[in-house]
Amino acid sequence: MSNIYGEWLKAQREAAGLTQQELATAAVMTRSHIAHIEAGRRIPSKEDARRLDRALNTGDVLSSFLPDDDTAVAGYFESALQLEQQATMIREFALSFIPGILQTERYARAVLSVPFPPASEQERDRRLVTRLERAKILVDPVTPVVWVLLDEAVLRRRIGGPEVMAEQINHLIRLAEAERIQLHLLPFTLGMHPLMSNMLTLMWFEDQPPVAYGEGLYMGKIHDSPSVVQELQHRYDFALGNALPLKESLDLLRATARDYEHHG
């Protein structure tokens, strides 16, 4: 994006005599997010822009003149998307399908093709580009650290057909073998486990407390209450303790990929 927006924000912050951290505290954001916006690397969400306006007493300038953004996500996911891009550690749990940052192009296209009511082809393409852009956080070989906990149901639900599933599972295997992600599976034989009611993302940051994001049908919520986040962390840890070790998880992934390749 053009950096005129970021430069204007920086000028207003300095005119108010605030450091990035002081503005971040006043606007209930992170210092690193402020730094990214000022450098032109990020566009704030509408809610972030409104908080910046209030913190700097700039009326509605920052919220009214947001740069054009081609990012296409559900409204309830906007804030979580910003946090995802800033996180130094991400722990994902998925019950129904592969988390967005790990999806291949064909798998993502299949996932995005089923919402109701139907979206136009142009809108589906915008959502696909956004999802693939999210995955680029894995290009950095170190940050964020990513843990992935998958219910076996994720592997068994055929999204896009056998060929797409085999490609997607092999992508996960490559990421795990390259030690870019730590991956564990919760097998059907485990029965009930404490994360069965929802998908969950836990995120840690350089300069703010951890948060949790839960998502269901047409709804998503960021949890920043320390007690709630801690409870969800405990649930994740408990489930992780009952998951298959990495080697056994990879063995199951490879066997499942072979089955899809055979049937494909």
Q: Each residue of 238-260: pLDDT tens digit?
A: 999 999 999 999 999 999 999 99
Q: Is the pLDDT of residue 207 over 80?
A: no
- Point out the least confidently predicted range of 12-26, 77-91, 226-240: 77-91
Sorted by sequence, the CB contacts under 8 Å of residue 103 that are 6+ apart come out as 111, 131, 132, 135, 168
Bond before 141 cis per omega within 30 degrees = no
27 or 113, which is more confident: 27
Contact status, residue 92 vs residue 185, Cβ threshold 8 Å: no
Determine what percent of the chain is predicted with pLDDT higher than 90: 57
The two tokens of residue 25 are 């505290």
HSE value, Cβ hemisphere, 13 Å, CA-based, for 220: 16
Residues 85/137, Cβ–Cβ less than 8 Å: yes
Q: Which residue has the higher pLDDT, 212 or 121?
A: 212
pLDDT tens digits for range 16-34: 999 999 999 999 888 888 8
Residue 217 has pLDDT above 90, yes or no: no
Give the contacts of 196 (CB within 8 A, at least 6 positions apart). 95, 151
Angstrom distance (rounded) from CA 154 to CA 142: 26
Q: For residue range 154-206, what is the model confidence (pLDDT) as tens digits? A: 999 999 999 999 999 999 999 999 999 999 999 999 988 989 877 999 999 98
Residue 259 confidence (pLDDT): 96
1 pLDDT more than 80 = no
Crossing angle, helix 46-56 and helix 78-86, to 10 degrees?
A: 80
CB-based contact 12:55 (threshold 8 Å): no
- Please, which residues bridge with residue 200 across strands? 93, 214
260 Cβ partners below 8 Å, 6+ apart? 158, 162, 163, 165, 166, 169
Starting at the edge strand found earlier in the chain, the sheet holding 199-204 runs: 181-186, 145-151, 89-94, 199-204, 211-216, 219-223
Q: Kindly state the average pLDDT of the residues 144-163.
A: 96
Residue 128's SS3 state is: helix
d(CA 39, CA 42): 8
Q: Provide the pLDDT for residue 46.
A: 83
pTM of the model: 0.74
98, 154 Cβ separation under 8 angstroms: yes
CA dihedral 176, 216, 89, 27 (to 10 degrees): 160
User: Please, which pLDDT band fits residue 71 given cuts at 50, 70 and 90?
Assistant: low
Across the chain, what does the average pLDDT equal?
88
